[in-house]
Structure 1
Amino acid sequence: MSIEKKLKKPVASFILLTNIIFLPLFFLVGTIKILGFPTWVFDLARCISAWSSTFAFAILFKKIFPGQSFIDFVKNKFKTKIKLTVILSVCMIQLALFMIILFLIMNKREVESIFTISSWGMLFYYFFRNLLSGPLGEELGWRGFAQVELQKRFSPLKASIIIGFWWGLWHLPMWLTTGYWGMDLIIYILSFMISIISTSIIMAAFYNLNQNLIIPIIVHQFFNFYIGLINGNLIHLITYNAIFYLTAAIIIIIINPKKVLYGMNVPSINNEKEYRI
């Protein structure tokens, strides 16, 4: 019986393949937009492109975990009983951040309507469209695999910063389609990276408290959902997000340093002594 050879650098391979898969899908989304296809076709293509990390992880799975079942791996990510206190904490923190940012944007009076959604039907559509793309499409690979895998070698804090950086950089093609140039683009990119690394830290902290993939999915969902609800200057929105999510991440580290700095003990599946990124 032949034994499949394990990848020497599974996380690096995952990140590389994720980007390789994403780029053509991103260009497909852009082409659909330019050619004026119906909105539902554009939304479907965008959702599919967001799943590039899951596609990459599924392709590499047998090379990372030889002899194991991909379906069983996914099931195990949701088998831990969800703690109500963790869910409530995540929801309340992000709701508080949303309300603060909303208040600041309202005071600027930049637009007539403060919300981007004009009906309950559109609100529900936006919520579930958002859920099916980023949160459900990205978290299995980035948090369910990469975050946990890096914690075999690094602290949850360091692992989350590394993952947050590469997760943020994965969005690079999107930055170039914002229409911003010069200083505005620099501010946008810096704010985006601070926001996403801070969110990655928050995800890691709560994921270590309750090892169920539902937790980072919820954090991701509300991060995207709330900022998309507010109708305001995008530079202001992303800057406020950066400031307040970074503040929340720092407070979480201060409140629970042991869990963030040391976290859960993640055993190597094959009890190997060495691990390479």
Structure 2
Amino acid sequence: MNKKIVIQFTALTFVIRFVFGGGVVICEQLGFMLNDYTLLYVPFLISAWSPAIASLIVLRKNNEVSSIKEWLRNIFNIKTSAFNYLFVVALLIVYMVSMLVTSGLNSVSPIYMFFIWLLASLLAGAGMEEAGWRYILQPELEKKFGYLLSCLIVAPIHILWHIPLGVGTSFLWNLINIFGITFALGAIYKISRGNIFLCVLFHCMINAGMSTIMPNQTTLGVIITSIIMISVSITVVSINKHIKS
């Protein structure tokens, strides 16, 4: 594990996140709401892109990539097997079906909205979080701690990163949800042998799916869904490891 890169990435990600994301929160507390003052979207987006921004800066600083072009090429490597893409879709289906069965359906938008939300999730930074979490943090931690423990380390870090969004009911829901999603993303990374694009895609698909087919957000539902996602992910990783050995 490259401890230097892990520390630099994590520290820079949180500095960017809390300076810009925290700044937006303070502005809203003072009455300058995001939807009313479009200039606030600049620090908001910088905050959302903080893992990606930190990833690029740290990897260039440590000569792991030579340019932004190489960095983007490593992230958006779409060349992988059909099985890996099917695995991503299967995990999405497991997640959505579990949420719907355990929480119930709230509302449904037209199917084309899924693709609009998919693009929005990428541009707003959600998918590009994986340019940090799965490009640097989890792979480096796995070198020392393995899949299971690295997921248990990454999840709380990701949760702390969400603090500028607030700590109300939705934060509790996200806290539980992030554990299940972290294990799923870690499994995608391992099964695909380090394909970051599939992690970006899955993250965006989860956001798009939840914005298109909207289940009721119940605590019990998200707990059960997270348990299912963790169980499925660990099982698939274990089977894959057994087959390779």
Structure 2: stretches of 5+ with no match in the other structure = none
- Is structure 2 residue 220 aligned with structure 1 residue 225? no
Aligned to 1:270: none
User: Residues 212-246 of structure 1, C-alpha deviation per residue, up to 9 Å, x if partnerless?
Assistant: 21111122112222333455654x1x542332132
Higher percent of residues as helix: 2
User: Residues 30-78 of structure 1, C-alpha deviation per residue, up to 9 Å, x if partnerless?
Assistant: 3269424547936665433210111222222244336844532432344
- Is structure 2 residue 68 aligned with structure 1 residue 50? no
- Is structure 2 residue 197 aligned with structure 1 residue 206? no
| Separation in structure 2 between the aligned mates of residue 40 and residue 83 of structure 1, nearest angstrom | 44
Aligned to 2:142: 151
- Cα RMSD of the aligned pairs, angstroms, is 3.4
Residue type of the alignment partner of 1:252: S
- State the TM-score, normalized to the length of structure 1: 0.71
Find the structure with the greater CA-based Rg: 1
How many residues end up aligned between the 2 structures?
Answer: 239
| Separation in structure 2 between the aligned mates of residue 92 and residue 152 of structure 1, nearest angstrom | 27
Aligned to 2:74: 76
| Separation in structure 1 between the aligned mates of residue 70 and residue 54 of structure 2, nearest angstrom | 17
Residue type of the alignment partner of 1:115: S
- Is structure 2 residue 155 aligned with structure 1 residue 170? no
Structure 1: stretches of 5+ with no match in the other structure = 1-6, 108-113, 264-277
Percent identity among equivalent residues? 23
Aligned to 2:87: 89
Aligned to 1:35: 32
| Separation in structure 1 between the aligned mates of residue 21 and residue 141 of structure 2, nearest angstrom | 27
Relative to structure 1, is the Cα distance of residues 96 and 223 closer, same or farther in structure 2, using a 3 angstrom cutoff? same
| Separation in structure 2 between the aligned mates of residue 121 and residue 77 of structure 1, nearest angstrom | 26
| Separation in structure 2 between the aligned mates of residue 70 and residue 149 of structure 1, nearest angstrom | 21
| Separation in structure 2 between the aligned mates of residue 98 and residue 87 of structure 1, nearest angstrom | 17
Tell me if structure 2 keeps the 8 A contact 1:192–1:242. no
Residue type of the alignment partner of 1:164: A
- State the TM-score, normalized to the length of structure 2: 0.78
Aligned to 2:226: 245
